[in-house]
Amino acid sequence: MKKILHVAETIKGGVATVIRTISAAPEDGRYELVYLVPLDQKKELHGIDEQQIRTFARSGRNVPSLLRFAWQLARVLLKEKPDVVHLHSTFSGVIGRCVCVLLRPWRKPKIVYCPHAFSFLMESSPIKQKAYAWIERVLQKVTDKIICVSQFELDKAAKFGIERQRMTLIYNGIDHKDDERKIDNPAPIHLLFVGRLDYQKGFDVLLKAYTEAKRSDLKLTVVGSAVNEDVVECPPLDGVEYLPWVTPTEVHALYQKADALIVPSRWEGFAMVPLEGMALGLPVIASDCTSLPELVTHGVSGYVFPAGDHQALADRLKKIQKPALSALGIEGRRIVRERFSAALMIRQTYDLYSAPSC
């Protein structure tokens, strides 16, 4: 039996969805799964046996929390003796690989790393990008395989010096949905945003665009909260409803009632939220950042606008109509079924765990 340890410094949002999805191990009894996640985010792994979950205390992205994460990871590695350590996101990737190197005299698991968007793909200064790229180039030497979740990410990483033979492309996937969206009266048009209210996700761009659109028949529901930022303003606006993180069942219901999903991100790995919406026939209005154009095709499965450009998004919101949105949603659902299935994602991930060169 092969033991897999999933490690994440934070899992709010898409990372939790990815981990839950690939937790559906092949039913042949060859895999045992263990998890290390923040204590206050443990509930994000709903459906997973609590006996498999190890936790650490996280109060934010600060030095004490990161040290507790590193210490607990070392303890779990020594106690659980995993065959494969699967590190999720960049902070886990940096700290986790350093811990694995320090423990190599005692434990030497295979290391699989999925950045879910490399740090050097973020909006930052050239100096920071070079620094992030240097760290990744150094740590790749102790990494068996790096999972890129988009072709954009893989190609960009290669330009920054990550060896192509260490990387593999595995698109995020989602289970097929047989539910049909509930179409209501012609007005209003219901818009939906689901995700972290952090700078990366472009929540501020959405609010500016919604205000600029000045359409009384637009309604916006915002689901989520800030995770990596201390304070994010959620101003009271006509037609805007703010909800905290809700259960997958509640999100599913919101997808069904919405007319369009807004994804105004500034950078992404490969977002799960648009996949979830498209699987239910929900059209997506997305920025053209990083990987999103690989999922959303302008005028086919949704609309695409320049990342960070609130005016361009506002112009699109001024024009949208329900009949056209419905047609885009039907095509988007077909695309997800054909190209982005959970079964394919799971099979490719477990093939990677078992590969001799992994």
pLDDT in tens, 103-152: 999 999 999 999 988 888 776 788 988 999 999 999 999 999 999 999 99
What is the pLDDT confidence band of residue 45, given thresholds at 50, 70 and 90? Answer: very high
The pLDDT assigned to 178 comes to 66
Amino acid at 272: M
Indicate if the pLDDT at residue 356 is higher than 80. no
CA-CA distance, 116 to 89, in Å (whole number)? Answer: 5
Indicate if the pLDDT at residue 269 is higher than 80. no
CA-CA distance, 18 to 271, in Å (whole number)? Answer: 10
Quote the tokens at residue 37: 């996640």
Q: What contacts 24+ positions apart, CB below 8 Å, involve 98-104?
A: 98/70, 98/139, 99/70, 99/73, 99/74, 100/142, 101/142, 102/74, 103/74, 103/77, 103/78
The pLDDT assigned to 353 comes to 93
Quote the tokens at residue 205: 């761009």
Going by C-beta distance under 8 Å and a sequence separation of 6 or more, which residues neighbour residue 140?
A: 146, 162, 163, 166
Average the pLDDT over 12-17 and give the result.
82
Average the pLDDT over 38-44 and give the result.
93
Element (H, E) at 174: none
Domains by residue range for the chain, with CATH: 2-173+341-354 (3.40.50.2000), 189-339 (3.40.50.2000)
- Does the pTM surpass 0.85? The reply is no
The pLDDT assigned to 223 comes to 94
Instruction: Name 17's bridge partners.
Output: none
Quote the tokens at residue 172: 């995020």
The pLDDT assigned to 125 comes to 82
Quote the tokens at residue 79: 């106690």
Element (H, E) at 247: none
**Helix, strand, coil abundance in the chain, percent, nearest 5:** 45, 20, 35
List pLDDT tens digits, range 165-198.
Answer: 999 999 998 887 666 666 656 679 999 999 888 8
List pLDDT tens digits, range 85-116.
Answer: 999 999 999 999 999 999 999 999 999 999 98
The pLDDT assigned to 317 comes to 97
Are the C-beta atoms of 9 and 66 separated by less than 8 Å?
Answer: yes
What is the pLDDT confidence band of residue 299, given thresholds at 50, 70 and 90? Answer: very high
Indicate if the pLDDT at residue 341 is higher than 90. no
Phi-psi region of 239 (alpha: psi -120 to 50; beta: other; left: phi over 0): left
Indicate if the pLDDT at residue 279 is higher than 80. yes
